[in-house]
Structure 1
């Protein structure tokens, strides 16, 4: 399950940063995840309790900032929302585009004590 490895990676980042800060645990973790990042939010919710058990994140509040996919058309410069990488420009129908937002998968902030 891909989301389990994502969750375990988040735990590793939190543990490393907690050690650097000489803290004991995390009270809040803020994540930024794009809709094009390939993460199924329901699956992440399902594996989260198992991934954080007996870690610095076990009792931490989790906030997720979901970033909608945005692209800019290479032909007409229109900026438009995308649900999938293969979506066409909503203005001219071109398939040539640059992804501006939506691929994010990062730990945005940690509150530690």
Structure 2
């Protein structure tokens, strides 16, 4: 379960950023997580409460935006939606593709007081 270390990393980012602006706590955190990132959102939610306890994120509202996967076939240049990292091109069935989006894991915004 690597979501525990991811949650700890998010807490570290929030603590560093609040320290930069001399804020006491975070009221809202916005995350962007891609479907191809390998992160199980349910697992992240499961560990979240225990990880944020006694941190600047303890009472913060958490908002997660899921970024859909999108790839581009290297062989035929077709752009297509992806649900899994191993999806092949729907036009030519090639496995060679570039991933355009969907691997994101980003702290998009923090609201602090």
Q: Who is 2:60 aligned against?
A: 60
Unaligned runs of 5+ in 2: none
Q: 1:47 aligns to what SS in structure 2? A: helix
5+ residue gaps, structure 1, are none
Distance in 2 separating the partners of 1:56 and 1:109: 14
Deviations 1:18-70 (A, max 9, x none): 00010000001000110111111111110000010010000000111111111
Aligned equivalents of 1:53 and 1:61: distance in 2?
A: 13
Instruction: State the alpha-carbon separation in 2 of the partners of residues 102 and 75 from structure 1.
Output: 20
CA distance in 1, matches of 2:97, 2:46: 34
Matched residues in 1 for 2:11 and 2:79: separation?
A: 35
Structure 2 CA distance for aligned equivalents of residues 63 and 14 of structure 1: 14
| 2:49 aligned partner | 49
| Paired positions, count | 113
Whole-angstrom distance in 2 between the partners of 1:91 and 1:84: 17
| Secondary structure of the corresponding residue to residue 109 of structure 1 | strand
